[in-house]
């Protein structure tokens, strides 16, 4: 069948067959195709939704061509340098940065909700100790709806905010318990005298037999990681959260769905894939061979952590985390073969014409994997830490969607299967 085409023309005035153009405050405009099927009998075909605005949102803006990432209008570089993760979480959830009193009250709320129900802790014993932390987090977060019935009425704004606070507050406790359970160490309780990041460090690495002293440089670096990963517009996991939320599902189920989506190696698992790639390279001497393989179209090998689907010039998050990685590595004086490979690989790739021409620069996943490894986090915890940070963005999108009334999301499809045919009768099953 020959391909058909529809011509589209932009007009300053409305006509019978025209579709309105919606203007945002930043970024490209959007053609409103909500009436396309009803008026013209057509569907928009956009696999992966890469040219589709699935919603209106005031939370995060990404300009991939110019390397811009804004949370509620604030550049990510400024927030990472001057703010804290707790203040950024407040910003994402409420729309404005908190003043001193609002920040204090928000921190008090986090402290109020950061404990896990003791019966929730018993869930961990139902998992194998070698289970991936993300598998455990999907189960535990989803199960929270069985404990907090007081927030199940999502039509109540106070309930919604309480549920969002619970998720942000409990996620570090949940993630840390995944690690301590896997190594047979007693689960550490939160310490409300510590910062959000410092508290997570002590729950991860502290021992019940001695006091844990938080390294301020590590805590600050971790806080930056949390800020950089807090939100990133309509990515796969955020879109999953919003899609689940459109059905009226409870917030814990929605965030559990987001965690499951984040687990994919092309999404939150990318920093884990970076270190696996570095391990495959093995030695600095093997880097030229690895680069040659990456250039070979017939070789499945790829340099993980290079380039980005959205950012075409540079990843603004990468510049921040690169500096943090250098600070932490210098502070700790770590001699790690994989870290040496990573630094040399970065140096070579940034000067190679092949990678420069294709804008394959190190992204946030490349540096975050290096940084988290240097701080002592096991590789299987990388994505769990990503989920911990991204929860602030997920609950913000969940809150935003609850204020809308567009109903359940229901994408359509271009059907390419068999046309109508009739059942041949019972006889065709007889030999």
pLDDT, residue 352, reads: 86
Both 137 and 181 in one domain: the answer is yes
Q: How many residues does the chain have?
A: 431
Q: Is residue 44 part of a domain?
A: no
Q: Is residue 95 part of a domain?
A: yes
User: How far is the first Cα of the chain from the last one, in angstroms, to the nearest whole number?
Assistant: 39
**Domain containing residue 278: CATH number:** 1.10.230.10
**Domain containing residue 88: CATH number:** 1.10.580.10
Q: For residue 191, what are the contacts with CB-CB under 8 A and spacing of at least 6?
A: 199, 202
Among residues 132, 229, 232, 308, which one is catalytic? 308
Both 131 and 181 in one domain: the answer is yes
Both 194 and 298 in one domain: the answer is no
Q: For residue 268, what are the contacts with CB-CB under 8 A and spacing of at least 6?
A: 237, 262, 383, 386, 387, 390
* pLDDT tens digits, 374-424: 999 998 999 999 999 999 999 999 999 998 877 899 898 999 999 999 988
Both 276 and 197 in one domain: the answer is no
Domain end: 355, 374, 393, which one? Answer: 374
**Overall average pLDDT of the 138-154 stretch:** 90
pLDDT, residue 311, reads: 76
Domain end: 326, 354, 374, which one? Answer: 374
pLDDT at residue 322 tops 80: yes
**Overall average pLDDT of the 298-304 stretch:** 85
Q: Is residue 171 part of a domain?
A: yes
Q: Domain tally for the chain?
A: 2
Both 249 and 353 in one domain: the answer is no
Q: Is residue 43 part of a domain?
A: no
Among residues 223, 231, 315, 365, which one is catalytic? 365
pLDDT band at residue 297 using 50, 70 and 90 as cut-offs: confident
Q: Which of 272-281, 301-310, 331-340 is the most confident on average?
A: 272-281
| Out of 7-21, 25-39, 96-110, 148-162, least confident range | 7-21
pLDDT at residue 271 tops 80: no
Both 200 and 81 in one domain: the answer is yes
Helix/strand/coil (H/E/C) assignment for every residue in the chain: CCCCCCCCCCCCCCCCCCCCEECCCCCCCEECCCCHHHHHCCCCCCHHHCCCCCCCCCCEEEECCCCEEEECCEEHHHHHHHCCHHHHHHHHHHCCCCCHHHHHHHHHHHHHHCCCCHHHHHHHHHCCCCCCHHHHHHHHHHHHHHCCHHHCCCCCHHHHHHHHHHHHHHHHHHHHHHHHHHCCCCCCCCCCCCCHHHHHHHHHHCCCCCCCCCCHHHHHHHHHHHHHCCCCCCCHHHHHHHHHHHCCCCHHHHHHHHHHHHCCCCCCCHHHHHHHHHHHHCCHHHHHHHHHHHHCCCCCCCCCCECCCCCCCCCHHHHHHHHHHHHHHHHHCCCCHHHHHHHHHHHHHHHCHHHHHCCCCECHHHHHHHHHHHCCCCHHHHHHHHHHHHHHHHHHHHHHHHCCCCCCCCCCCCCCCCCCCCCCCHHHHCC
Q: Is residue 193 part of a domain?
A: yes
Both 236 and 149 in one domain: the answer is yes
Both 229 and 343 in one domain: the answer is no
Both 106 and 207 in one domain: the answer is yes
pLDDT band at residue 344 using 50, 70 and 90 as cut-offs: confident
Q: Is residue 326 part of a domain?
A: yes
Domain that holds residue 362: 270-374
pLDDT at residue 192 tops 90: yes
Q: Which of 45-54, 338-347, 386-395 is the most confident on average?
A: 386-395
Both 321 and 394 in one domain: the answer is no
pLDDT at residue 183 tops 90: yes
pLDDT at residue 227 tops 70: yes
pLDDT at residue 330 tops 90: no
**Overall average pLDDT of the 51-76 stretch:** 92
Both 340 and 209 in one domain: the answer is no
Q: Is residue 325 part of a domain?
A: yes
pLDDT, residue 300, reads: 84
pLDDT, residue 431, reads: 60
Both 369 and 291 in one domain: the answer is yes
**Overall average pLDDT of the 246-259 stretch:** 95
Q: Is residue 42 part of a domain?
A: no
pLDDT at residue 76 tops 90: yes
pLDDT, residue 217, reads: 96
Tell me the two tokens of residue 397.
């999108």
* pLDDT tens digits, 99-145: 999 999 999 999 999 999 999 998 899 999 999 999 999 999 999 99
**Overall average pLDDT of the 238-255 stretch:** 95
pLDDT, residue 1, reads: 59
* pLDDT tens digits, 353-372: 888 888 788 888 888 888 89
The question of whether 365 is a catalytic residue gets the answer yes
pLDDT, residue 200, reads: 98
pLDDT, residue 78, reads: 96
The question of whether 149 is a catalytic residue gets the answer no
């Amino acid at each position: 069948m020959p391909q058909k085409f529809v011509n589209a023309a932009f007009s300053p005035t409305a006509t019978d067959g025209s579709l309105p153009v919606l203007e945002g405050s930043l970024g490209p405009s959007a053609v409103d195709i909500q009436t396309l099927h009803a008026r013209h009998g057509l569907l928009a075909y956009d696999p992966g939704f890469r040219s589709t605005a699935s919603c209106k949102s005031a939370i995060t803006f990404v300009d991939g061509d110019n390397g811009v990432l804004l949370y509620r209008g604030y550049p990510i570089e400024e927030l990472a340098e001057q703010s804290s993760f707790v203040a950024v979480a407040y910003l994402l959830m409420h729309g404005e940065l908190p003043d001193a009193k609002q920040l204090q009250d928000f921190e008090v709320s986090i402290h109020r909700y950061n404990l896990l129900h003791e019966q929730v802790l018993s869930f961990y014993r139902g998992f194998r100790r070698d289970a991936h932390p993300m598998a455990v987090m999907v189960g535990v977060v989803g199960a929270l709806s069985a404990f907090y019935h007081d927030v199940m009425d999502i039509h109540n704004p106070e309930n919604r905010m309480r549920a969002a606070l619970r998720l942000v507050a409990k996620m570090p406790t949940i993630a840390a318990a995944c690690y301590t359970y896997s190594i047979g160490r007693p689960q550490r309780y939160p310490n409300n005298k510590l910062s959000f990041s410092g508290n997570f460090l002590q729950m991860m690495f502290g021992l019940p037999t001695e006091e844990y002293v938080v390294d301020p440089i590590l805590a600050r670096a971790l806080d930056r990681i949390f800020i950089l990963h807090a939100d990133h517009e309509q990515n796969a996991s955020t879109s999953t959260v919003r899609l689940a939320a459109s059905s009226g599902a409870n917030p814990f189920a929605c965030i559990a769905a987001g965690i499951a989506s984040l687990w994919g190696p092309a999404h939150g698992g990318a920093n884990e894939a970076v270190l696996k790639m570095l391990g495959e390279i093995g030695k600095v001497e093997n880097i030229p061979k690895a680069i040659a393989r990456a250039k070979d179209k017939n070789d499945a090998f790829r340099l993980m952590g290079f380039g980005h689907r959205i950012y075409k010039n540079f990843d603004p998050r990468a510049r921040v985390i690169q500096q943090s990685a250098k600070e932490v590595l210098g502070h700790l004086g770590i001699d790690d073969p994989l870290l040496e490979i990573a630094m040399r690989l970065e140096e070579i790739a940034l000067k190679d014409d092949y990678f420069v021409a294709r804008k394959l620069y190190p992204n946030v996943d490349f540096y975050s994997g290096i940084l988290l490894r240097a701080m002592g986090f096991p590789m299987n915890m990388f994505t769990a830490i990503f989920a911990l940070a991204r929860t602030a963005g997920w609950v913000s999108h969940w809150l935003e969607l609850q204020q809308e009334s567009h109903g359940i999301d229901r994408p359509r499809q271009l059907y390419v299967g068999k046309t109508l045919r009739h059942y041949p009768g019972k006889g065709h099953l007889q030999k």
